[in-house]
Structure 1
Amino acid sequence: MTPHGQAEGRGPGPALRHQADFSKFTRRRRCCRKGIQLALVGLVTAALWAGLLTLLLLWHWDTLRNLKQLEENAARNVTQVSKDLERHKGDEMAQKSQAAQMLQNMERIQAEQKRMESQEFELFQNLDGLRADLSNLKSLNMNERRMALESLERLQEEIQKLWVELRESNVPTTAPTTVPATVPTTVLTTAPATVPTMVPATAPTTAAPLSLSSTPGSTCNTCPEKWVSFQRKCYYFGEGAKKWIQARFACSNLHGRLVSIHSQEEQDFLTKHANKRGSWIGLRDLDIEGEFIWMDKKPLNYSNWQPGEPNDAGQGENCVMMQASGQWNDAFCNNRLDGWVCDRLATC
């Protein structure tokens, strides 16, 4: 009988029992290990969920805190914007007030400027009147000499006529060799009313020159340097920007006056020689509006107005200029023109 048989007869042997116990232990161990694993997995899962919940709570709390901060910032920004808007409105109102003040100041300045222009014009008129009065005062002492000179000229003309008549009739006479040509510095205010009855027998071969003679047929065409002679008058064509009154006194300093025009021939001559950008002439209506007066006091017997002129545009065009075409235009006396024309009588 084999041991195996013996074992079978006696029941399982120790080895078998040990193997069985080991198998049970192994199974138990496996079951415990699975339980532990499941427990660990549960614990890890629970920890993960707890961490996730914690993160969610932290995120929610942080989000709430951020939202609160955003609300506070938004409230502060709204308050600041409101303050800025109020300050902007205040600044805008201040700017509008400053603009209104500036507008008022501009209006006052314009009114003051107009008043100053009016005063300047009145001052200019007064100055012109004072200059004219001064010129008249200076000329008062010259009137007597001029009258005596004119009387002497007429006397010389009568003597010349008588000499021609005597020469034609072959009447023997005696005459002085010269005829006085100048006037003493002091003369009588009235010329002799009659011519002496005794006429010279012989007459001079040439008549003495007269500085202001305008006798028909005389050859008075001598002009100063830089003056141009035309029809017994001398003309000076000035250049340089001047107002009308400045041009007038410039002519006076040259012993002339602003030109007076009395014929188409004279106008054509001036148009040919005058400044092409416009020139002042001696015509104005400073005293009475619309009543134009020449510097030589002669009537306005010739005119060459541009169509539509004079129009006194702007109320104050009281001085007359000659344009490049030769036509006249009334202009402001304070304008500066590049040209101005003077005239004076030629000497013989």
Structure 2
Amino acid sequence: MDDNSYSEVPVEYSRRQKSCCRRQGLKLVLLGLLMASFCAGLLTVLLLWHWDAVQSMKQLEETAARNVSQLSQVLASHKDQQMTQQSQAAQMLQNMEKIVTEQKTLKHQEFQFSRNLDGVQEDLVNLKSAALNEMYSVWNRMEKLQEEVEKLWLELHLSNGSQCNTCPEDWVNFGRKCYYFGQGTPKKWLQARNACRALQGQLVSIHSQEEQDFLTQHGSKFGTWIGLRDLDLEGQFIWMDENPLNYNNWGPGEPNNQEPSEDCVVMEHSGKWNDMDCLGRLDSWVCDRLATC
């Protein structure tokens, strides 16, 4: 091999080496460009992501701000409502206390009214009782006065020789008096007394054996009410004509007041007298009144 051959080999090698270096440099440049493009793209993506994140954060902040504002409004409204409710509750409590006070006042007034009403009712009862007692007293005095007038009138006519033996229809004359022998629906003593008063008479008063014998003939076998009683004072018997007990025809052992309420007198079928419960019922009673002239 000649020298020219040896000299051409390094040149060729050098050329190849340079070419190789150029290719490698190009590759590095391309790689650099590629890396730069990748970094640029990545940076762009990161920037876009950051911008989106910033926008999202802004939206979140705005939403949060709106929510906070709404929540603040709700809390403020709730606080106002709570204050209103507390005020209403305080007012209701005050009203309840007022109502309780008024109820206590009304109860006290009702109690006072009830006491006053009881007092008025008691006064009315006492007044009614006093009025009835006075009425009965006046009635008895009038009956007594009327009887005295009739007796005086009878004595006057008798002294002038008049015959004073006139009796109303259904009445029987004996002596100076007329007698009505009541029979029918069984009556208590007070009912029999009222029946005689309705006939302008009174339950019979007996003052002699002759009068007793006359009444015995017309007596009922079941007993007959007569006008003798001890209603006012136990043991003090009084006739309806207020005359004293100057004659009596008590049965054996009578009056015995066998029961605490035996204060009225009944004439047995035999004519004997027996004290009996005034609430007992007899279907026979005798009324008397003065005969007219």
> If the length of structure 2 is used for normalisation, what is the TM-score?
0.57
Greater relative contact order (Cα < 8 A, sep 6+) = 2
* 2:227 equivalent in structure 1: 282
C-alpha displacement at 1:130, in angstroms? 2.4
Amino acid at match of 1:270: S
**Gap change, CA 1:52 and 1:100, over 3 Å in 2:** same
How big is the shift at 1:243?
5.7
Query: 2 CA distance for matches of 1:92 and 1:257?
Result: 55
The 8 Å contact of residues 258 and 340 in structure 1, kept in 2 or not, is answered as no
Gaps of 5+ in 2: 1-15, 173-178, 289-293
Q: Tell me how far 1:25 sits from its aligned partner.
A: 4.0
Secondary structure of the corresponding residue to residue 82 of structure 2 = helix
The residue type paired with residue 283 of structure 1 is L
> Counterpart of 2:248 in 1: which secondary structure?
coil
Whole-Å separation in 1 of the counterparts to 2:75 and 2:171? 107
1:128–1:245 Cα contact (<8 Å) kept: no
SS of equivalent to 2:249: coil
| Structure 2 CA distance for aligned equivalents of residues 139 and 226 of structure 1 | 18
Alignment of 1:123-272 (within 5 A): 123-140=138-155, 235-239=181-185, 242=191, 244-248=193-197, 250=199, 252=201, 258=204, 270-272=220-222
The alpha carbon displacement at 1:38 in A equals 2.6
Aligned equivalent of 2:54, options 24, 32, 39: 39
CA–CA distance in structure 2, aligned partners of residues 294 and 96 of structure 1: 48
User: How many angstroms apart in 1 are the aligned matches of 2:118 and 2:170?
Assistant: 57
Structure 2 residue aligned with 1:341, among 276, 285, 288? 285
Contact residue 251 and residue 257 of structure 1 kept, 8 A? no
Structure 1 equivalent of residue 3 of structure 2: none
Alignment CA distance shift 1:239-1:298 (3 Å): farther
**Alignment partners' CA distance in 1, 2:64 and 2:27:** 52
> SS at 1:244's partner residue?
helix
Displacement after TM superposition at 1:115 (Å)? 1.3
Taking only the aligned residue pairs, the percentage that are identical comes to 12
State which of 253, 256, 259 in structure 2 corresponds to 1:308: 259
Q: Residue 116 of structure 1: CA displacement?
A: 0.3
Residue number among 61, 65, 70 corresponding to 2:76 in the alignment: 61
Deviates more, 1:135-144 or 1:286-295: 286-295
Please tell me the residue identity of whatever aligns with 2:226: I
Distance 1:16 1:258, change over 3 A: same
Question: Cα–Cα, structure 1 residues 14 and 271, in superposed 2: closer, same or farther, change >3 Å?
Answer: farther
Residue identity in the other structure for 2:286: C
Separation of aligned partners in 1, 2:232 and 2:39: 149
Q: CA shift at 1:234, angstroms?
A: 9.0
What is the match of residue 10 of structure 2? none
Deviations 1:84-137 (A, max 9, x none): 344334433433332333233223212211210210120121122123224423
Number of aligned residue pairs:
241
> Is 1:329 paired with 2:273?
no
1:258-311 deviations in Å (ceiling 9; x for gaps): 486969xx69x6353x6xxxx742324699981333879872222465513566
> Is there any run of 5+ residues in structure 1 with no aligned partner, and where?
146-184, 188-210, 212-223, 228-232, 313-318
Distance in 2 (CA, whole Å) between partners of 1:343 and 1:87 is: 65
Q: Which has the larger radius of gyration?
A: 2
After superposition, the Cα gap between the structure-2 partners of 1:236 and 1:21, relative to the gap in structure 1 and judged at 3 Å, is same
- Residues 257 and 135 of structure 1, relative CA distance in 2, 3 Å threshold: farther
Is the contact made by 2:203 and 2:226 (CA closer than 8 Å) also made in structure 1?
no
RMSD across aligned positions (CA)? 5.1
